[in-house]
Amino acid sequence: MAWTWRFEKSDGTEVQPAMQPEEFTTQGDAESWIGEFWKDLLEGGADQVVLSEDGTKIYGPMSLHANEG
């Protein structure tokens, strides 16, 4: 199994992330990575992410912006 992130602008357009992760072997590893690097990804131009397992969308888009308001 391979867990991967897709990095997007707020309109769903794919962007290259500021840091390119490897494929993850577990969902927990993928989520831990995004938890550690979301600020860098946001500063690098990504607004949201989508998590997939072996090409199947699991969830997302999930905003990288802090809750506003």
Of 39, 2, 68, which Cα lies nearest the Cα of 49? 39
Cβ-contact 69, 43 below 8 angstroms: no
User: Could you report the per-residue pLDDT of 20-47, keeping only the tens digit for each?
Assistant: 898 999 999 999 999 999 999 999 999 9
Cβ-contact 26, 3 below 8 angstroms: yes
**pLDDT classification of 69: cutoffs 50, 70, 90:** very low
**pLDDT classification of 66: cutoffs 50, 70, 90:** confident
Per-residue pLDDT at 1: 83
Q: Tell me the pLDDT of the chain averaged across its residues.
A: 94
Three-state secondary-structure class, residue 4? strand
How far apart, in whole angstroms, are the C-alpha atoms of residue 21 and residue 68? 27
**pLDDT classification of 67: cutoffs 50, 70, 90:** low
